[in-house]
Amino acid sequence: MQFPSRCGALVVFAFCIVASLVGCSSWSSQEKAEEGVTRPTIVFMTDFGTANDAVAICKAVILTIEPEARIMDITHQVTPFSIEEGSRFLAGVTPYYPSGTVFLVVVDPGVGTSRKAVIVKSKKEQYFVLPDNGLITPVTDRDGLEGAHEITNPAWMIGDKISSTFHGRDIFSPAAAHLAAGEDWTLAGPEVSDLMRLSPRAATVEANGITGTVIGLDDPYGSLITDVEGEDFKRLGYQVGDKVTLKIDKTQYTFPFEKTFMGVPVGQSLVYVDSRGRVGIAVNQGDFSKRYHVSPPVPVFIPRKAK
């Protein structure tokens, strides 16, 4: 007569254990989700390349300080010393990341000089750890500037022995890690009232056409990127399918204006408006830069469509 009672007790006991384990599992998942909110992503970009150990060392420094940090890469193939290219890439990716994201950017030809190492906060609530050399200009022009602080606090650096040539390891990476750990960014150092500004090239719209610059290559394809805005180009009167006679550096070319690369046969060249809204020049499934021996920066002129 006692056997069923004991079975019932065992069933109840087992149920309680299962319920307890499920509850712990749910709590753990919730806790991890909450931790994900307090440890934002670090988005990393440099001109270090990938043929050496510099990027790996910077990531190791970050993870030593904040093991839970999530690190994503924009590129480490910025043209060496090209602040303008780095600023263009940075401005291109930031709209796709949420507030709280930490951007770590090291394109720093002035490393070891009097230039400041700074943390900048935009009005979009994103943080930028970078040298004060103009890299941030396009972002703050678009998103607004909340404030900036120079990184002078030794606790936000790798230690007392700061090299004169590798601030990516010694200053910028540690500072990004402290931000990712949720620390108060104002503790990094004193407020900076004026940031260095970059003066990027801008195309000029005139009565007879647009004078601009080939500012980069869409690697690895070798397509030309210009600073000519697509909307300004369309105001010159061109429609898809029209022939465009333009001058690149000192050479004149005539290519069709097409919406997609496949608007022309494989191996043929075209003018198009790229995904960022700028005029591009490409070879369908080819490398325009290599074929025509064009390396930026070079001038480009697009005339108004003849009537």
CATH number for the domain spanning 214: value is 2.40.30.90
Q: What is the pLDDT of residues 2-11, one digit of tens each?
A: 444 444 444 4
In sequence order, what are the residues at sequence separation of 6 or more whose Cβ sits closer than 8 angstroms to the Cβ of residue 92? 276
Query: Is residue 74 included in any domain, yes or no?
Result: yes
Q: What is the largest CA-CA distance in the chain?
A: 105
Q: What is the pLDDT of residues 212-259, one digit of tens each?
A: 999 999 989 999 999 999 999 999 999 999 999 999 999 999 999 999
Query: Is residue 28 included in any domain, yes or no?
Result: no
Q: What is the pLDDT of residues 167-189, one digit of tens each?
A: 999 999 999 999 999 999 999 99
**pTM listed for this prediction:** 0.80
Query: Is residue 6 included in any domain, yes or no?
Result: no
Instruction: State whether 208 and 299 are in the same domain.
Output: yes
Please choose, from the candidates 294, 292, 300, 295, the residue with its C-alpha nearest in 3D space to the C-alpha of residue 226: 300
Contact 251, 239 (CB under 8 A): no
Rounded-to-integer distance, Cα 283 and Cα 217, Å: 12
Q: What is the pLDDT of residues 198-215, one digit of tens each?
A: 987 789 999 999 999 999
> Domain with 74 in it: what CATH number?
3.40.50.10790
Q: Which of 188, 218, 234 is the last residue of a domain?
A: 188
Q: Which of 158, 188, 218 is the last residue of a domain?
A: 188
Instruction: State whether 68 and 177 are in the same domain.
Output: yes
- pLDDT at res. 38: 54
Instruction: Tell the residue number behind the tokens 């712990």, with chain if given.
Output: 24
Instruction: State whether 49 and 113 are in the same domain.
Output: yes
Rounded-to-integer distance, Cα 230 and Cα 59, Å: 38
Residue ranges making up the domain that contains 177? 37-188
Say how many domains are in the chain: 2
Which residues does residue 230 pair with via DSSP β-bridges, in sequence order? Answer: none
Contact 100, 156 (CB under 8 A): no
Per-residue confidence at 31, pLDDT binned at 50, 70, 90? Answer: very low
Query: Is residue 296 included in any domain, yes or no?
Result: yes
Q: Among 19-33, 113-127, 287-301, whose mean pLDDT is lowest?
A: 19-33
Instruction: State whether 167 and 292 are in the same domain.
Output: no
Instruction: State whether 183 and 297 are in the same domain.
Output: no
Query: Is residue 133 included in any domain, yes or no?
Result: yes
In sequence order, what are the residues at sequence separation of 6 or more whose Cβ sits closer than 8 angstroms to the Cβ of residue 7? none
Instruction: State whether 180 and 218 are in the same domain.
Output: no
Chain-centre distance of CA 89, in angstroms?
Answer: 5
- pLDDT at res. 10: 44
- pLDDT at res. 262: 96
- The three-state DSSP-derived secondary structure of 146-208 is EEEEECCCHHHCCCCCCCCCCHHHHHHHHHHHHHHCCCCHHHHCCECCCCCCCCCCCCEEECC
Query: Is residue 56 included in any domain, yes or no?
Result: yes
Q: For residue 115, count other CB atoms closer than 10 A to its CB.
A: 15
Query: Is residue 253 included in any domain, yes or no?
Result: yes
Query: Is residue 267 included in any domain, yes or no?
Result: yes
- pLDDT at res. 105: 98
Q: Which of 188, 215, 235 is the last residue of a domain?
A: 188
